[in-house]
Amino acid sequence: MCFDHLKLALLPAITAHNIEEWIAIPYFRGELDPESSFAAQPWHVIELSLLLVTVVPVAIVIWASTGKQRRSKDWTICWIATIFLTNVFAPHIPSSIYTWGYTPGVATALIVLLPICASILRIGWREHRLTMSQYSSALILGVVSLPLAIATTFGIARVLT
């Protein structure tokens, strides 16, 4: 599979992952750490946050997947893929280990996001879509962006609701 096909796979992957969380969170919310900032949020804030973390990255991927191919667009795809790959390893895998079971989002994180995002990064590198410094910056900023995106999304959702 090539980079151009894989980047389009991010669209249903992101959407499916956030739908899984939206469906599962109400059933598993009581099992989450009550001191976590996530568990303390009212349901309407969590719902709007999930909508935002679906619509915004999907819109970015659509923009980066259309029109003339540019390194800046390929960088953006690698950045988004890194954010969602980071999301697999923090918080999904640790929270499942902590609870010794299923946690909302872990199924699509492992089955869908992990292979798609890892493949995008691997194939993007193999196809020389980015220089080493561009690739490194997409990886570093992707990892750093996850907690910032979560905090910002909850903040926006609290203001809007």
| pLDDT tens, residue by residue, 30-46 | 666 555 666 678 889 99
Q: List the one residue out of 158, 160, 159, 154 whose CA is nearest residue 50.
A: 154
Q: pTM of this prediction?
A: 0.93
Read off the pLDDT of each residue in 45-51 and give the average, rounded to a whole number.
Answer: 94
Phi, psi of 36 (to 5 degrees): -70, 150
Q: Tokens for 52?
A: 């935002």
The pLDDT value recorded for residue 41 is 83
Read off the pLDDT of each residue in 132-136 and give the average, rounded to a whole number.
Answer: 95
Percent of the chain with pLDDT over 90: 81
pLDDT digits (tens, 9 = 90+) for 14-31: 999 999 999 999 888 766
**CB-based contact 109:119 (threshold 8 Å):** no
The pLDDT value recorded for residue 141 is 97
User: Which ranges of 66-89 does DSSP label H, i.e. alpha helix?
Assistant: 71-87
Q: Is the dihedral of CA 132, 138, 139, 144 positive or negative?
A: positive
The pLDDT value recorded for residue 39 is 64
